[in-house]
Amino acid sequence: MRAPRAILITGASSGLGAALAEAYASPGKTLFLGGRDSARLEAVARIATAKGAEVHTETIDVTERTHMEVWVASANRIAPLDLVIANAGISAGTGDGGPEPADQVRRVYAVNVDGVMNTVLPALPLMQERGQGQIGIVSSLAGFRGFPGAPAYCGSKAAVKVFGEGLRPTADRSGIEVSVICPGYVRSPMTDVNDFPMPFLMEADEAADRILRGLERNKARIAFPWPMYAVVQLLQIIPPSWIDGLMGRLPTKSG
């Protein structure tokens, strides 16, 4: 959708979500911003309001299905939603290199997978009624190949990537555009804790600009930066037995 006027963004209190809110903020735009940290969310709202947007905030956990359904419906009543970006996500790793704790794995999937479903599924029928709308699903380049340092994170991002790819053709029949967003490393509180090299680390505002331009063009997949995108695509076609040893020596993310 080239000029969305009513936009809902989850995970908008920091990082990429905050940058997207600021990128879309302008006169005539209505932003619905959700996040778990109310203080940071209100700080983002003040910036977006200063840029001329009408802003509504909701302190919310995307894993709370009923709360999400009520919020999405309420936002749509205020201003019919043109664009919904399911951005909220968390990251965790194996720490000392051992298996991830079961509770950690389930929490990562609850936020990164169920959270996307709890955002997208309530929005779809509302858009179908009008025969138009756009969905942006934030996955990751980590969703192209399982990395031993963060298997739950990679798996969760692979799940929403494939979900979005499968949803796009069927949603299109109802006039709804679906794009899967696959960034590499973006500076945020989530990446700030990483104590290993992050190739092609990108500032959040630059990443938001690339996403905005990709959504304007209704790109099926918005993946960047291209050198890392090329690497993960290559890793998909190399037999795992050829690179298992190398993968096992990669740095691990703290749990």
Note the pLDDT tens digit of each residue in 133-183. Answer: 999 999 999 999 887 778 999 999 999 999 999 999 999 999 999 999 999
Q: What is residue 65's predicted lDDT score, i.e. its pLDDT? A: 98
**Residue among 24, 109, 153, 229 flagged as catalytic:** 153
Would you give the distance in Å from CA 9 to the centre of its chain? 9
* Tokens coding 233: 């695509």
**Residue 41 and residue 15 in contact, taking contact as beta carbons nearer than 8 Å:** no
Q: Which residues contact 90 (CB under 8 A, 6 or more apart)?
A: 107, 108, 111, 112, 190
Q: What is residue 22's predicted lDDT score, i.e. its pLDDT? A: 97
Question: Across residues 199-227, what is the average pLDDT?
Answer: 93
- Of the two residues 238 and 193, the one the predictor is more confident about is 238
Q: What is residue 86's predicted lDDT score, i.e. its pLDDT? A: 98
- The single residue listed with the structure tokens 């996403």 is 211
Measured in residues, the chain has a length of 255
Is residue 198's pLDDT more than 90? no
Round to whole Å and give the CA distance between 254 and 111: 18
pLDDT in tens, 216-251: 999 999 999 988 889 888 878 877 766 666 655 555
Q: What is residue 153's predicted lDDT score, i.e. its pLDDT? A: 93
Which residue blocks in the chain are alpha helix, DSSP H? 15-24, 38-50, 65-78, 102-109, 115-130, 151-172, 189-192, 204-216, 226-237, 240-248
**Bond prior to 225 in cis (omega within 30° of 0):** yes
One-letter amino acid for residue 39 of the chain: A
- The single residue listed with the structure tokens 């890392």 is 228
Round to whole Å and give the CA distance between 177 and 85: 12
What is the Cα Rg of the chain in Å? 18
**Residue 175 and residue 131 in contact, taking contact as beta carbons nearer than 8 Å:** yes
**Residue 62 and residue 111 in contact, taking contact as beta carbons nearer than 8 Å:** yes
Q: What is residue 194's predicted lDDT score, i.e. its pLDDT? A: 63
Helix, strand, coil % over all residues of the chain, rounded to 5? 50, 15, 35
Is residue 8's pLDDT more than 70? yes
pLDDT in tens, 81-126: 999 999 999 988 766 666 889 999 999 999 999 999 999 999 999 9
**Residue 60 and residue 34 in contact, taking contact as beta carbons nearer than 8 Å:** yes
pLDDT in tens, 11-66: 999 999 999 999 999 999 999 999 999 999 999 999 999 999 999 999 999 999 99
Q: What is residue 248's predicted lDDT score, i.e. its pLDDT? A: 59
Q: Which domains does the chain have, with CATH numbers?
A: 6-248 (3.40.50.720)
97 half-sphere exposure, CB direction, 13 A CA radius: 5
What letter does residue 110 receive in the DSSP assignment?
A: I
229 is catalytic: no
Round to whole Å and give the CA distance between 45 and 39: 10
Query: For residue 38, what are the CA distances in angstroms to 42, 125, 198?
Result: 6, 29, 29
Q: pTM of the full predicted structure?
A: 0.91
Q: What is residue 112's predicted lDDT score, i.e. its pLDDT? A: 98
Round to whole Å and give the CA distance between 202 and 185: 6
